[in-house]
Amino acid sequence: MSRDPRYDILFEPVRIGPVTARNRFYQVPHCNGLARLHPQAAAGMRRVKAAGGWAVINTEEVELHHSSDVSPYIEGRLWDDRDIPTFQASVDAIHAEGALAGIELAHNGFHAPNRYSREVPLAPSHMMVGALDPVQARAMDKQDIANLRRWHRDAALRAKRAGFDIIYCYAGHDLTLPMHFISRRYNHRSDEYGGSLENRVRLYREIIEDTKEAVGDRCAVAVRFAVDEVMGEEGLCSETEGREVVEMLAELPDLWDVNVSDWSNDSVTARFGEEGGQEQYVVFVKSLTSKPVVGVGRFTSPDAMVSQIKRGILDLIGAARPSIADPFLPKKIEEGRIEDIRECIGCNICVSGDMIIAPIRCTQNPTKGEEWRKGWHPEEIATAKSPEAQVLVVGAGPAGLECALSAARRGYSVALAEAGQALGGIAARMARLPGLASYDRVRGYREGQLRRMANAEIYLDSPLSAEEVLDFGARFVAVATGARWRLDGVGREHALPLAFLERAELLSPDAFLDGTVEAERVQGRKLVIYDDDHYLLGGVIAEALAGMGADVTLVTPAADVSAWTHNTLEQGRIQTRLLELGVTIRPHRTLAGAGNGVLTLACVYTDKTEEIPCDVLVPVTARLPEEALFQALKAREDDWADAGIAQVSLIGDALAPATVAHAVYSGHRLARELEEEIDLDVVPFRRELPGIAGG
């Protein structure tokens, strides 16, 4: 296939100071939970992206000095020359595939509590640290400012020696000292570094000038600047001071990487933001500078990308999350394979890796983070040892779809049997709920790929019994029958069923996922959601019920609604939306009794009880795997050989209920491991073990 000429503009080279990007696809800096602890894994991830056609591959933020220690978060670290080798593998891998390597140097100021280094945090003025640590940052004096400039210059020179092509001066996401100096909220100084905007920008200007002088002969110097903090005149605003900063520094850097702050605004989930949502904030930048401009917007559509270029919004298409979901997105556009793009769903599971201090993962791309550890590639998979063998996958949710697709790509003959009338399972069911339509991309991508494969067959309305599976005669059987929500109250707070729930009118979360809840049943009634799951569903159901006209109360043992979504940067938006919809929120409460239209709650700290009216209770607690078929097959294991069955496996929620990302990973892993000898006593991936070094 050949490239659509409409997209030729995306493959034009772009000059960035002394270096040239081979096209307009630019992977902006993003956290990944690998960095300094897993440098080989980081290099493997970046090599794949460079091979996938991204012209520029940037690191995560990199601590430039030991007074900017964000431990335990796994970011980059370039404190001294001993850290250079941790980046060498990435630089070499990026260059080997013809891309430019960029590094985002950062000093996080009062957002760095220095838990490991035990240095006193630094800030423009005296203030609390950004974390909840009971320490404060001290106001920097003139010597501190001179030190910071020297530290940044030294780190830039180390980055140059490591082979980086683009070196960042970072003032974004409300996280770094240059941004803290620019901000009126944090900068209360009365010297030449405080007061007027020109004074507040002075340090950033000096850092850019220092970096240009130190490395500008060979390296491009980029600035990453948040032009708007999305908080009106209380913060930087693209209509006032954000614009003025760009005007002041317009021609100084070699590239402008512009976005919004804070991180939750920059990486807003699909539930709360559309593709290209930052355009309104960054639209002015190109009119003020002749230097190339890159910006982000969760771009997955090549038409949207071309529009950004032709309308003069951006010169380079920036991406973090889309490059994670599909590292080969540029190649697929270049080769005319638009239908093969694995589109980001904007769920921010990738972000959660950084937040929980673990390696990156992705709902759409199960190979993310496993490129070096397991040798997984997003577009390549080992050929089946026995391609004549048939694989039967029972259940077409995320795990079943991914298993079927990956097994078919290996060359197996695949049959995918779905009991219902549509594919997608939990992902397609979630897509029915407010704001979660993008989850249907999990189904859409995999169904589209499978239906074009000659060695894959899809059977709808095909519930299978153990006898029918045995009669089918497949050598490998994957059972991906999903899970159902419990109605007995068992979850994190209650390990045993709550007998009193038998006296309550209950409505299962599955009814909302199935789209069978009618407004007439809930309108005007008092609905209580008990959320002991703490992820998306409790809050989404509350929103759906409020939209149906119910009187909604959300009860949770946690301190706030959908507590785990702090890790996906959307908890604040979820709680705000529910409050705006009139949902009553009762945190720190668990279930203690029910009956006669009343629900008894107990404080999780004091056990003190209270009663609230409740016509219908929706318990969002634990799930039970739908494993009946698997257990029936296990009971007839003696018959497998006669039926030609070599292996029966449980995958996805039928194995252990979790996120959609976990289900996709489970299905992919099984497909990769078919006919492989698995030793449960051996770690199934490569590890990077710490060495012993002094000094």
Would you please indicate which residues are annotated as catalytic (active-site) residues? Answer: 31, 170, 173, 266
Phi/psi zone of residue 644: left (φ > 0), alpha (ψ -120 to 50 degrees), beta?
left
Tell me if 147 sits within 8 A of 207, measured CB to CB.
Answer: no
Report residue 172 as tokens. Answer: 């974004």
Helix count (H) and strand count (E) of the chain? 23, 28
Angle at 651 between CA 341 and CA 320, to 5 degrees: 30
Tokens of 608: 């003190």
- Residue 309's region, left for phi above 0, alpha for psi from -120 to 50, else beta, is alpha
Closest CA relative to residue 39, chosen from 671, 690, 688, 554: 688
Helix (H, G, I), strand (E, B) or coil at 385: coil
Which token pair is 457? 């067959």
Please, which residues have CB within 8 angstroms of residue 685's CB and are 6 or more apart in sequence? 370, 373, 374
Q: What angle do CA 76, 80, 81 make, to 5 degrees?
A: 100
> Which residue has tokens 């130190």?
214
Kind of pairing between the strands at 220-228 and 166-171: parallel
Give me the helices (H) in 356-490, please.
Answer: 398-410, 425-430, 440-450, 466-472
Instruction: Return the amino acid letter for 384.
Output: A
The dihedral sign for the CA sequence 247, 253, 255, 260: negative
Contact 64, 152 (CB under 8 A): yes
Rounded distance between C-alpha atoms, residue 48 and residue 41, angstroms: 11
d(CA 555, CA 601) in angstroms, rounded, equals 9
689 within 8 A of 519, measured Cβ to Cβ: no
Gap between the Cα atoms of 308 and 264, Å rounded: 23
Helix%, strand%, coil% for the chain, nearest 5: 35, 20, 45
Residue with tokens 């070499």: 92
